[in-house]
Structure 1
Amino acid sequence: MSKPTLSDLQAFMMVAARRSFAQAAGELGVSRSALSHAMRGLESALGVRLLHRTTRSVSLTEAGERLLTRLRPVLTDLDRALDDVAADDKGLRGTLRINGSEGAIRHLLQSVVPRYLAMYPDMELDLVADGRLVDVVGEGFDAGVRLGEAVHKDMIAVRVSEDLRFLAVASPRYLRRHGVPAVPDDLRAHRCIRQRLPSGKRYRWEFARYGQTFAIDPPGALTLDSNTLMVEAALDGLGIAYVPEPYAREALARKRLVAVLSDWCPFIPGLFLYFPGNRHIPAGLQAFIQLLRASGSCG
Structure 2
Amino acid sequence: MKQNFTVRQGALDGVEAFLCVARHRNFRKAAAELGVTPSAISQAVRLLEERIGATLFVRTTRSVGLTEAGERFLSRARPAFEELVAARDMARELGQRPTGLLRLSVPRAIVPLLLEPLLASFHQAYPEVEVEIAASKEVVDLAAEGFDAAIRMGQLVDADLVALPLTLPFPLVVVGSPAYFEKHTPPTHTDDLREHACLRWRRSSGAMATWSFTHHAQTTDIAVTGPLIVSDFPALLGAALEGIGLAQLPEPMVADAIKTGQLVQVLHAYSPMLPGVFLCYPDRRQVMPKLRAFIDHVKARRDPEMK
- Aligned equivalent of 2:297: 291
CA distance in structure 2 between the partners assigned to 1:276 and 1:155 by the alignment: 5
Paired residue for 1:250, among 243, 246, 256?
256
CA distance in structure 2 between the partners assigned to 1:283 and 1:84 by the alignment: 12
What is the Cα-based RMSD across aligned positions, in Å?
2.3
Whichever residue aligns with residue 224 of structure 1, its letter is: V
Per the TM alignment, residue 122 of structure 1 is displaced from its structure 2 partner at its CA by 1.0
CA distance in structure 2 between the partners assigned to 1:84 and 1:292 by the alignment: 25
- Aligned equivalent of 2:266: 260
Consecutive unaligned residues of structure 2, counting only runs of 5 or more, are 1-9, 11-86
Q: Aligned to 2:133, what secondary structure does the other structure show?
A: strand
Paired residue for 2:227, among 221, 237, 262?
221
Paired residue for 1:193, among 176, 182, 199?
199
How many pairs align? 220
- Aligned equivalent of 1:73: none
5 Å-filtered alignment, 1:156-235, equals 156-235=162-241
Alpha carbons of structure 1 residues 83 and 94: separation in structure 2 relative to 1, 3 Å: farther
Per the TM alignment, residue 290 of structure 1 is displaced from its structure 2 partner at its CA by 0.8
Whichever residue aligns with residue 238 of structure 1, its letter is: I
Q: Aligned to 1:296, what secondary structure does the other structure show?
A: coil
CA distance in structure 2 between the partners assigned to 1:117 and 1:82 by the alignment: 24
Deviation by residue 1:73-114 (Cα, 9 ceiling, x = unmatched): xxxxxxx9866621566x421111110111223334233222
Instruction: Report the TM-score, using the length of structure 1 for normalisation.
Output: 0.68
- Aligned equivalent of 1:30: none
Q: Quick check: 1:146 aligned with 2:165?
A: no
5 Å-filtered alignment, 1:1-299, equals 85-87=92-94, 91-277=97-283, 280-297=286-303
Identity %: 32
Give yes or no for contact 2:155–2:275 (8 Å, CA) kept in 1. yes
Q: If you compute each CA radius of gyration, which structure gives the higher value, 1 or 2?
A: 2
CA distance in structure 2 between the partners assigned to 1:246 and 1:296 by the alignment: 15
Deviation by residue 1:6-64 (Cα, 9 ceiling, x = unmatched): xxxxxxxxxxxxxxxxxxxxxxxxxxxxxxxxxxxxxxxxxxxxxxxxxxxxxxxxxxx
Give yes or no for contact 1:252–1:259 (8 Å, CA) kept in 2. yes
CA distance in structure 1 between the partners assigned to 2:157 and 2:89 by the alignment: 29
Give yes or no for contact 1:204–1:217 (8 Å, CA) kept in 2. yes
Consecutive unaligned residues of structure 1, counting only runs of 5 or more, are 4-79
> After the TM superposition, which parts of structure 1 deviate over 6 Å for at least 4 consecutive aligned residues?
none
CA distance in structure 2 between the partners assigned to 1:138 and 1:125 by the alignment: 19
